[in-house]
Structure 1
């Protein structure tokens, strides 16, 4: 059920100690389909803008865009079908290159951001 996934997302965000502000919108289309989108601000000024559209445990569309406090991209994961690679349509943008990537969820991206911020 989508409400179960939404609850897991809320719990993960609440558990993330480096979050200082957030605006999250959950939209339930039906019991197995929904969208979560929002903005999360982290302790070092990084900002994550994201959107996930999920249906029956499948991530149909997603975008996770992390920026520094000046608005410069740190990375962006998405599944927009504009880069043909081994992991098409999944890929990761960095300032230098577009890389192959597996599908990501907001929960996985939050773990990556925690590691990135806490190692600095």
Structure 2
């Protein structure tokens, strides 16, 4: 188990953060502090752990700027969602590791069962 945001050096608890821009990537807190380096470091550390342990898939928190696999908040701190993955989820997906969220437990179980039979 790993939290990309704490792996990147962010405290717990931490202020809300949202992705302001994808290209170039910019993630800020609700106070305007740039936390992009921490989010990127956490994404890289998460991918390193996943590769080291040969994980088949990941269960991550929906809507998180790190972990959201389908959607994240739009960057305006208005509770508006957009279709885009978080930075850590995106790194895993780009490297062939499927990412599920807490609302996709049934799909995750099915994936793991099918992967077990294929092995």
TM-score by length of 1: 0.27
Higher relative contact order structure (alpha carbons within 8 Å, sequence separation ≥ 6): 2
Answer 1 or 2: which has greater helix percent: 2
Higher strand share: 1
